[in-house]
Chains A and B, each alone.
Chain A
């Protein structure tokens, strides 16, 4: 513990272990129990880049899946896209691109469904202050069993899509430099088509829950952890939402374009990362705006804000409803992430349905190669936001440099701001800080769906710890959760 100033205690909690998956929130109170400062520390394990130095480039799309237990497909595809550039094969065959897209939409669908039904819904269905004994996934299972089963089956469906496109549930090998190593058989297609209409229907129901909650609780939703921000995502050339590929677009809080259609091979000209002393996780920002004004949100909210339209009908209708709430301007409400996430979920299952009917998935042209390069960048819109993979390769085909900016890192500053806002609004000056009030802080972080439980989870680890410290430096409360 470090202390500073006469009437404040500044507590710096060093991570106990450097295991990815630890998050720590420190709330510093002044002598009047007012919140003075909050800090969200997310322990990001940076050793991964070193781990892959020296490995042959073709191993990387498989190796990077070790990075994250929840979105290995996103890392698999981002790395594969970077390696496409290395082998001069970024213009994929229709079969390869569509197989990868199918894999990616499967990943989106399982991840968004899991988040909504089993992570976010307890807060929405029972209330932020509800008894923690029921405000959890089991509580949902007991009180809303039909909903909970839908969540399980939607997650399972997304996993089935991944299994049939990546080849395995974990450590998939589907995407390779310049293409894909398998197509989709008729049997696999028919298996996935069997339940597709049910999945679309459930995705619409989930969207309705998220939308209704937001609309019916606007008074609560508007101020909760909310603040204006820039927004960043990939975007298709015609301005459509594209979760797999496109160019970079950034807009400000009013919707003005900061930059547009930027080739992500040049991302270093636009994005920089700031290091702060209290967190291993860096703080990315738009270079020419500087760290003070250049930070941005990524993920579902940012993507719905940056898109001019969505090219699947049900999701586009939902996007229009969403944007109407803010008269077409960007939505800057933290809790609106849930609504935006369910719009993307519906878009993903619509895309899966379209793809499954496309005979290109049964094509046999799987790989292309071209002029060999020594550097490549791969970007993808992962469930949590924009994911950057950047590699350099030497003449022996070995990786000499790797730089990854993961989605949760991109949302570092926004998550810190959300925690600060909620702490000020709900905890500052309160005589008794209840579990329900502390849960408000978690609700704000959860909206961003950070990957705190990534990569390792061995029995005994605690991914999130919240500490409240008074002006005398006394620990008032602490709670840890898996």
Chain B
């Protein structure tokens, strides 16, 4: 069975930035076999070790100005030059999984469009909530049927 890791990340205390963790919570509640769900504020380097233990890793995050209601695309492993590695890009996590742990993990980014980020508050905007719902409708069958990764 294809092993899938879904990491929903973002700050639930910063309005729509909580879209990633909200998706993770929704998926985790389903208890899908073969699907591991994790949630964090930001991606960091140790996520590479977890990614390497799976065939597929899906990074779910809020998108500031991406497509509506969400985008979903395969990502390639590549190093990115950053000011800070407190937070690591999905591509870099995947690259470390490959380079450090010899993984052949496939990576995908699920960017759910959000609209409000500029204040503190533990709630999603109405439009973000709609986008979250559509993203769930899209991703859950893929996770359930393991229609991803070609492995």
Spell out A's residues near B (CB within 8 Å): 17-19, 23, 45, 47-48, 50-51, 63, 66-70, 72, 114, 117-119, 132-133, 135-139, 141-142, 145, 148-149, 151-153, 155-156, 159, 169-170, 442, 446, 451-461, 463-464, 481-482
Contact = CB atoms under 8 A, between A and B. Distances in A.
A442 B83 contact: yes
Among B16, B41, B96, B121: residue with most chain A CB under 10 A: B41
Contact of B100 (A23, A136, A152, A464): A152
Interface string B73-89: 00000111111111111
Contact of B86 (A18, A45, A114, A153): A114
B81 A453 contact: no
Interface in B17-74: 17, 39-42, 44-46, 48-49, 61-66
A47 B83 CA distance: 25
Contact of A452 (B81, B83, B119): B83
Interface size class of B (residues with CB under 8 A): 35 or more
B95 A141 contact: yes
Contacts of A23: 83
Given A19-B117, A70-B42, A170-B40, A461 B85 contact: no
Contacts of A149: 100-101
10 contacts: A66-B11, A66-B120, A66-B122, A69-B42, A151-B45, A452-B83, A454-B86, A460-B64, A461-B64, A463-B84
A137 B80 CA distance: 8
Contacts of A141: 79, 95-96, 99-100
Contacts of B83: 23, 442, 446, 452, 463-464, 481-482
Contacts of B78: 138
A137 B89 CA distance: 11
A72 B41 contact: yes
Contact of B62 (A135, A142, A458): A458
Interface of B: 9-14, 16-17, 39-42, 44-46, 48-49, 61-66, 78-89, 92, 95-96, 99-101, 109, 111, 114, 117-122
Looking at A148, A454, A460, the one whose CB has the most chain B CB atoms below 10 A away is: A460
Nearest to A131: B81
Given A119-B84, A139-B79, 20 more contacts: A17-B117, A47-B119, A51-B119, A51-B121, A66-B12, A70-B86, A118-B85, A141-B99, A142-B99, A148-B99, A152-B46, A152-B100, A451-B86, A455-B11, A456-B11, A457-B9, A457-B87, A458-B61, A481-B81, A482-B89
